[in-house]
């Protein structure tokens, strides 16, 4: 299932969460589930690039190995909620896929939201928003940002969703006192929501088609943020490091 670039994540309550990377055993279990929907082979580790581990396995009946890079993280404040994220090239080399395994119990109808963060550096005066709890930020012309994206404050790493965008003026959600200006250190671009393809005994799986546009964003990004929903209006973001993604993916056969 391809990423719906037109969909936005507005209207849902969500919050970023810190992560805890899981053990090699958990990675191994996720590998078995995510290759061929639960292949029996456990795969062979071929090393790591940054935060991504490379594993290879020969699916039943296949002539060649399928290799992938993967990472498994969980929210520190919700240890029962973990994501396994795998990037792979299919055996026929006709497709490149980002596959995600989410735990049972997630709210399936909202799917999984996806944003990719890139480092920026700019400072803007704060203006008054047209609604309570909002302010305006001027975004430089060289920074790609749109409604539904997220600006990250440089001083405290607070996430601010862009609820409206007019020319280069972004209206963002704001909590607390309003200083004269704010520094921005990162922008998370919203790719939309992806629907789950199927659920297995140990989790629900979805595939994202790695188009050239999406792959380029992952190569250049610092963090991918996956939004998991437990109710229609209650979701939280789990960050996945993109450190080593480009190097690991380029080594896949």
Q: What are the pLDDT digits (tens) for 143-178?
A: 999 999 999 999 998 999 999 999 999 999 998 889
pLDDT above 80: residue 130: yes
Query: Same CATH topology for 44-109+195-251 and 116-190?
Result: no
Neighbours of 63 (CB within 10 A): 7
Chain-centroid distance, C-alpha 136: 26
pLDDT above 90: residue 196: no
Alpha carbons 97 and 119: distance in angstroms, whole number:
25
Yes or no: say if 114 and 83 are a contact pair by the CB < 8 Å rule: no
Per mean pLDDT, which range of 28-32, 105-109, 190-194 is the poorest? 28-32
The pLDDT value given to residue 26: 43
Tens of pLDDT, residue by residue over 41-72, are 456 888 999 999 998 887 777 777 778 899 98
The b/e string for 11-26 (b: 16+ C-beta within 10 A; e otherwise) is ebebebbebeebeeee
Neighbours of 74 (CB within 10 A): 21
Please give the average per-residue pLDDT across 226-239, as a whole number.
Answer: 82
Best mean pLDDT range from 100-104, 195-199, 240-244:
240-244
- pLDDT band for position 1 (cuts 50, 70, 90): very low
The pLDDT value given to residue 42: 54
Q: Which CATH class is domain 44-109+195-251?
A: mainly beta
| CATH node for 116-190 | 2.40.30
From the list 154, 161, 123, the residue with the least C-alpha distance to 139 is 123
| Pairing label, strands 181-194, 66-75 | unpaired
Residue identified by tokens 């250190």 is 185
pLDDT > 70 in the chain, percent: 80
From the list 179, 192, 182, the residue with the least C-alpha distance to 152 is 182
Domain ranges of the chain: 44-109+195-251, 116-190
């Amino acid at each position: 299932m391809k990423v719906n670039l037109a969909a936005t994540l507005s209207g849902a309550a969500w919050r970023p969460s810190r992560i805890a990377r899981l053990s090699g055993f958990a990675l191994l279990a996720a590998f078995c589930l995510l290759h061929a929907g639960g292949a029996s082979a456990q795969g062979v580790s071929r090393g790591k690039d940054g935060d991504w581990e490379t594993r290879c396995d020969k699916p039943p009946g296949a002539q060649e190995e399928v290799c992938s890079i993967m990472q498994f993280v969980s929210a520190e404040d919700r240890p029962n909620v973990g994501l396994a994220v795998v990037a792979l090239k299919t055996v026929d080399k006709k497709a490149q896929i980002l596959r995600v395994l989410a735990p049972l119990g997630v709210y399936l109808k909202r799917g999984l939201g996806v944003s990719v963060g890139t480092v920026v550096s700019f400072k803007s005066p704060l203006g008054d928003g047209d609604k309570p709890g909002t302010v305006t930020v001027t975004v430089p012309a060289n920074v790609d940002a749109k409604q539904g994206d997220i600006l990250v404050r440089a001083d405290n790493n607070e996430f601010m969703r862009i609820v409206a965008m007019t020319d280069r003026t972004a209206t963002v959600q704001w909590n607390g006192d309003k200083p004269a200006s704010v520094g921005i250190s990162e922008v998370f671009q919203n790719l939309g929501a992806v629907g789950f393809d199927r659920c297995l005994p140990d989790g629900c799986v979805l595939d994202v088609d790695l188009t050239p546009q999406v792959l380029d964003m992952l190569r250049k990004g610092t963090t991918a943020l996956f939004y998991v929903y437990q109710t229609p209006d209650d979701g939280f973001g789990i960050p996945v490091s993109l450190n080593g993604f480009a190097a690991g993916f380029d080594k896949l056969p």
